[in-house]
Amino acid sequence: MKPIKIGLLGLGTVGTGVVRIVEGHQEDLQSQVGSPIMIEKVLVQNKSKSRNIAISQEKLTEDPWEIIRDPEIDVIVEVMGGIAHTKEYMLEALSRGKHIVTANKDLMAMHGPEILAKAEQYRCDVFYEASVAGGIPIIRTLVEGFSSDRITKIMGIVNGTTNYILTKMSQEGASYEDVLKEAQELGYAEADPTSDVEGLDAARKMTILSSLGFRSNVDLEDVSTEGISSVSKEDILYAKRLGYELKLLGIADRQDDLISVSVQPTMVKETHPIASVNGVFNAVYVYGEAVGETMFYGAGAGELPTATSIVADVVAVAKNLRLGVNGQQSSLIYKEKKLKTDEQISSKYFLLLHVADRAGVLARITQVFADYEVSLESVLQQPNPTNPDAEIIIITHDANKAALGKVIAMFESLDVVNKVKSVYRVEG
């Protein structure tokens, strides 16, 4: 059988993993595909750089167009990142009939519809399993495993850096700043950690998951996003006292064809399975009308976990090539997008208030909730010897986001409330 030839754009951590798996698992891959899979050309920044993997110098190039325009190459595997130039390469490759496998969440979150439309035009495959949650096969599961079900909610830890930080803060009582510095030293966080800690990375992944899960074209601008940089040791301590863990969650919810997608620090009941997902691991919880609750857990990044997802996509392309059905998958996005308003988004909330320590304050606070029809599940006043103010902890029953926003605005203008210290969504 004619070998399937790969053009690999990028030979960093993940690209190296792809080479290791393709070359090391050749017998297994051939048994599945029926023909050899070969890495024909590899794009690198510097051909003369020393590498921790043996690869022929003849296969290396510093010119991406040498790969894109090579008529012998069947599949482009893109693991170099970036958006503008990468999009240009992908569109040109598709116009030349090449199939695409990518790990680029930023590209797919921002330009996925355009790239997929181009692929449909030229009857090419575009697979991007590795763009979300590394080695967890969540995209294929949403597309194929839930094809006969109707997904109502997707809730996940999809960023390992923030989960590592929050886990260390919870288990060791460390501060956000100290753990972030440690994460940077260990290589879990970038020198500029903004994309991770402000929730942008997770928001891009939730754009992809919610679009596939709800079959609607969700844009990055549709995702309400808040990061973890304002989470304090005090917040985590109070969460633990109340039986919760604090996690950065992506939450996509659908009800009566109305959807909402958000990323925010969330208090999760400690008995919920996702509360026990620690360190750099990822987990995605999917609710289906028929199947009920399912959870997918595993390594969210790393050389071999991510490369495993990429090579699995290459195998899918190769099988389609043998059958002659590339680019014939039915459209995954066919529903009109209808976003919930703030009045239609509902959940429980946790609030920590610093208030004047005098009689009648609690009555005034509870009256504000009553005025905006937000009912309370529990109210707790905690002594804090380091704070001269009284500290009041409140957990609401389900309340709509608009009403809660009005409550918070009222508190900020109330003379007895010195500070609205923290507000978190509550799940589980």
Residues belonging to the active site = 205
179 in Cβ contact with 165 (< 8 Å): yes
Instruction: Residue 90: name the closest of 132, 39, 126, 129 by CA.
Output: 126
Tokens describing residue 244: 């919760």
Distance CA 266, CA 380 (A): 19
Length of the chain: 428
Distance CA 28, CA 256 (A): 45
Tokens describing residue 110: 């921002």
Residue with tokens 């979150």: 109
Query: Within 13 Å and on the Cβ side, how many CA atoms surround 194?
Result: 1
Distance CA 274, CA 167 (A): 12
- Angle CA(310)–CA(296)–CA(30) in degrees, nearest 5? 30
What's the longest Cα–Cα distance across the chain? 84
End-to-end CA distance of the chain, in Å? 52
372 in Cβ contact with 366 (< 8 Å): no
Distance CA 421, CA 28 (A): 56
Other C-beta atoms lying within 10 Å of the C-beta of residue 46? 9
400 alpha carbon, distance to own chain's centre: 25
Q: What is the DSSP code (8-state) at residue 418?
A: E
Phi then psi for residue 57, to 5 deg, are: -60, -30
Other C-beta atoms lying within 10 Å of the C-beta of residue 241? 11
Residue type present at position 222:
D
